[in-house]
Structure 1
């Protein structure tokens, strides 16, 4: 599919989604939100896609909300603002809820909603000049739609600080907070993303999707009888799948599994 604000490149089972509004640092507007929502849904339904990388053209990953879009929202009714906010929240949920592994390739600014995008992806690799912030309070608003993903990434305790101060967070600090999994030199960013992609391609696609679902089911829950039974049922159901059988046979036979690129057929 063609998207007005996105450039999607396919390389085998890897789809790189480039936000393509470099003149405004890939800031959100209604069209970008709609395009990202549709792209996440389409790529998640595409069996030929194994991994999705989210990146930004130009100098920034994403500088958050487009100021003209924000100004128009400020002049609209509360009902219209709610409808717009639901579209943004739906886009972030579509990204976070993808069954496939997602990687944020972050360079330059990842502010406001851009930090939300990085947090909503499973993995974040940041270049050394990347800078993050929940800058909304400086505009008299709050990082509301992105909050579930940012708090999950940096913890409730850290959110109390950064949601109120809007301080800039450099790549090193982002890695310390858990927002970025790695902070690397700018000229190493693409190589590190490729290395993580290669690692992901070694795993079974159905087990990876099940692993993501497992995290959602287990995180922040007490270890009670219901949780123990749920985890036991999940592994029991997966052990009898063709993917598990293939994975075990490949390991015992000392060969790559059928889902590894170049092994099909």
Structure 2
């Protein structure tokens, strides 16, 4: 199997999870999401890992869900499609549940599932030139599987500005919307990531892990019930004519029926 997720661990115990499907702008395929979940669960069990960085190879952080994979889902029965589309939800849950701090290194663009990846990070740092957006509704779909994490990150009031309209926004607005912690010049991104890593390395690893667990509980932890609710919402949306028409229009390179 082709490796779409690469893991590097340095001598300090800093692990980097690399999205490595750069020829497809790191669009999330089924295999890629399975590998991401497996890699996150391995790191969660590694007591020598103190900080995890989520980064991407190539020009784009993540273009969202792979549309060829989405098109394949149209031919599946409803139960299989629900199980298949849930892959991103389980991958995000594995990242969300990491006991170590998770730092996002975003460059290029982040759409759909890429916004979900940013949302599970404890600290998300972005290059100033990036574009972000929850683009699902343009395709007749909804940002459901990523929804619990996006809304937890942004808060309901800010999410209302971008959750339903597929509008693209820049790094500065992403900071205002609370999707990014900071935006820096692209040439300064690695330095900003290192600056975010360094304080954790002076702290007791067990205390950091327990502090993160306590924070999750106090802020209102995302539960499996929330995740299942989101998975069911997307499964129902897949059954609509809008979903079929939106995916077909994309591959036919024509406007969707509702496009103004």
Query: Which residue number in structure 2 is paired with residue 10 of structure 1?
Result: 9
Conserved? CA contact 2:159–2:177, under 8 Å: no
Higher mean C-alpha displacement, 163-172 vs 104-113: 163-172
Separation in structure 2 between the aligned mates of residue 191 and residue 26 of structure 1, nearest angstrom: 23
State TM-score, norm by structure 1: 0.80
Query: Which residue number in structure 2 is paired with residue 89 of structure 1?
Result: 89
Show CA shifts across 1:120-174 (max 9, x none): 1111000101221111001100010101111111111122221211111211111
Show CA shifts across 1:25-73 (max 9, x none): 0000111111000000001111111111011110111110111101111
Query: Which residue number in structure 2 is paired with residue 210 of structure 1?
Result: 210
Show CA shifts across 1:90-146 (max 9, x none): 110000011001011000111100100010111100010122111100110001010
Show CA shifts across 1:169-193 (max 9, x none): 2111111111111000000000000
Q: How many residues align?
A: 220
Higher mean C-alpha displacement, 198-207 vs 36-45: 198-207
Query: Which residue number in structure 2 is paired with residue 37 of structure 1?
Result: 37
Query: Which residue number in structure 2 is paired with residue 28 of structure 1?
Result: 28
Q: CA deviation at 1:3?
A: 6.8
Separation in structure 2 between the aligned mates of residue 162 and residue 77 of structure 1, nearest angstrom: 31
Separation in structure 1 between the aligned mates of residue 26 and residue 82 of structure 2, nearest angstrom: 23
Moved over 3 A (4+): none
Separation in structure 2 between the aligned mates of residue 196 and residue 158 of structure 1, nearest angstrom: 25
Give the secondary structure class of the aligned counterpart of 2:16.
strand
List alignment gaps of at least 5 residues for structure 2.
Answer: 222-260
Query: Larger radius of gyration, structure 1 or 2?
Result: 1
Query: Which residue number in structure 2 is paired with residue 251 of structure 1?
Result: none
State TM-score, norm by structure 2: 0.82
Structure 2 residue 61 is the aligned partner of structure 1 residue 69: no
Query: Which residue number in structure 2 is paired with residue 99 of structure 1?
Result: 99
Query: Which residue number in structure 2 is paired with residue 172 of structure 1?
Result: 172
Separation in structure 2 between the aligned mates of residue 91 and residue 6 of structure 1, nearest angstrom: 12
Query: Which residue number in structure 1 is paired with residue 129 of structure 2?
Result: 129
Separation in structure 1 between the aligned mates of residue 34 and residue 19 of structure 2, nearest angstrom: 12
Separation in structure 2 between the aligned mates of residue 81 and residue 210 of structure 1, nearest angstrom: 37
Give the secondary structure class of the aligned counterpart of 1:163.
coil
Give the secondary structure class of the aligned counterpart of 1:110.
strand
Separation in structure 1 between the aligned mates of residue 219 and residue 158 of structure 2, nearest angstrom: 18
Give the secondary structure class of the aligned counterpart of 2:99.
coil
Conserved? CA contact 1:3–1:35, under 8 Å: no
Separation in structure 1 between the aligned mates of residue 80 and residue 162 of structure 2, nearest angstrom: 28
Conserved? CA contact 2:64–2:112, under 8 Å: yes
Separation in structure 2 between the aligned mates of residue 39 and residue 214 of structure 1, nearest angstrom: 24
Separation in structure 2 between the aligned mates of residue 204 and residue 136 of structure 1, nearest angstrom: 41
Separation in structure 1 between the aligned mates of residue 105 and residue 206 of structure 2, nearest angstrom: 24
Conserved? CA contact 1:37–1:91, under 8 Å: yes
